[in-house]
Copies of this chain bind each other. A is one copy, B any other.
Amino acid sequence: MKTTGNLLYAQSGGPTAVINSSVLGALETAKQYPEIKHVYAAYHGVEGIIDETIFNLGTEDKQETSKLLKTPGAALGSCRYKLQSKSDLAKVLAVFQKYDIRYFLYNGGNDSMDTCSKLATYFAQVNYDCKVIGVPKTIDNDLVATDHCPGFASAARFISTMLAEVTYDAQSYTSEQIIVFEIMGRNAGWLAASASLARLTGYGPDFIYLPEVTFDLDKFISDIQALRSKKKLLVIAVAESLRLKDGRFVTDLVGQSTSDVFGHQQMGGAGQVLASILKERLQTKVRAIEFSLLQRAASHLASEVDTYEAYQVAAYAVKQAVKGVSGKMVTILRAAASHKLSQDFGQQLDEGVKEKLSQAAQAYKSSYGLVDLAKVANQEKLVPRAWINEAGNDVTTEFVNYCLPLVSNLLDFDMQATLKVADNGLPNFSDLKRTLVSL
């Protein structure tokens, strides 16, 4: 017998440019199943469950909800709350019973999958029938068991596009310059690695430093010093979270400079600290550019593949939940055929390599699968060492091969019509009414 009741959807953790595409995927799919009476949303994730701020997604205007495809940030509100205590779990159960929640979809990263996992286990223990499914989402791309995570590709597209545009701009002059781009990523360097895609335009970074490799300041300076005689403009991509051999972060180098010019710990991240050190050591013009929140909020540049897959992972979650699946997270599987280029072409992307990479990107296909929540919760997937060059200052073409299809345009993208900006040239965000559920 099929489970009948209401579906509750909630968002958690850092937003992405396509996070709300998953909301639409869940909503439109859930409406197709008679087993699901209402589609509810908790405002601000688990916090909204606990304080019963629950609204009815099903009563939202279709015109407004379709804009979710191009609305960044958590349209349902997000939280960083981690379910800990037994009383928290009991409170969630009481709310679920009150609102007859029989399907629960939680959209988030490693922490959120932990919440999901705890709830699924608890509901089983207390014999409460509720299908719990995790919907993956993180720009960091660090969830295990999935080929990649919704949100990552759009951030990668923003990073590589803007890095290429700024590099083209900066080579307008004849004077020497170094630009250090600081890119998000706590322990995993997927986003910093995506800077390499800019090479497809002919204007990419010279070096890329990932947190997967211990950062060596002297080697960093000698890498750059060695290239200075050959190029006037040097472009460096660094992850925000580079760590030194002794375990400290690069930002801890503040105050360590020979001239002791760095006085303030809170000002500036890794990019700014490294730029200041380079400026002092090499006596040249150095500029630090931090992509900051822009890289996760730029829905105007969202990848079409990413927007589509973000929609589909949530749609798949609904379908599986209705089939009776629980305690799983949806994964994205890459069709083997789409991963054609296994050889490494080295750092130089000549025209032939670019052409082959673009062909491989067009052959990209994906499908969806499931993994136990317990296997995903609190785990982190790092960039494989084999995808980082030996010197530890760049990625290999294998990474480009992996990443490029994800930022690509879809040939027949049926969501295209809804993706238009307004006639006034500005974004057209979804504004949900958020009609609270009253019982």
Counting chain B CB atoms within 10 Å of each CB, which of A72, A172, A179, A290 scores highest? A172
- Taking CB atoms, residues of chain B closer than 8 Å to A47 are 174
- Closest chain-B Cβ to A237's Cβ sits at a distance in Å of 15
B77 touches A174 (CB 8 A): yes
Known: A173-B79, A268-B272, A428-B201. A298 touches B165 (CB 8 A): yes
Per-position 1/0 for A23-59, Cβ under 8 A of B? 0000000000000000000001001000000000000
Check if A162 sits within 8 Å of B425, measured CB to CB: no
Q: Which of A56-72 contact B (CB under 8 A)?
A: 71-72
Closest B residue by C-beta to A292: B289
A263 on the B face (CB < 8 A): yes
B276 pairs with A287, CB closer than 8 A: no
* Contact (Cβ within 8 A) A169 B15: yes
- A71: chain B residues at CB < 8 Å are 168
Question: Is A391 in contact with chain B by the CB < 8 A criterion?
Answer: no
Complex CA gap A357/B300 in Å reads 22
* Set of chain B residues within 8 Å of A11, measured between Cβ atoms: 172
A357: chain B residues at CB < 8 Å are: 424
Does A102 make an interface contact (CB < 8 A)?
Answer: no
Q: Tell me the smallest distance from the CB of A350 to a CB of chain B, in Å.
A: 14
Instruction: Determine the residue in chain B with the shortest Cβ distance to A156.
Output: B425
Residues of A within 8 A of B (CB): 11, 15, 44, 47, 71-74, 77-80, 157, 160-162, 164-166, 168-174, 179, 197-198, 200-203, 261-268, 272, 276, 279, 287, 289-290, 292-294, 296-301, 303-305, 357-358, 361-362, 404, 407-409, 411, 421-429, 431
Give 7 closest A-B pairs by Cβ, nearest first: A263-B263, A73-B169, A74-B172, A169-B297, A73-B168, A78-B172, A407-B425
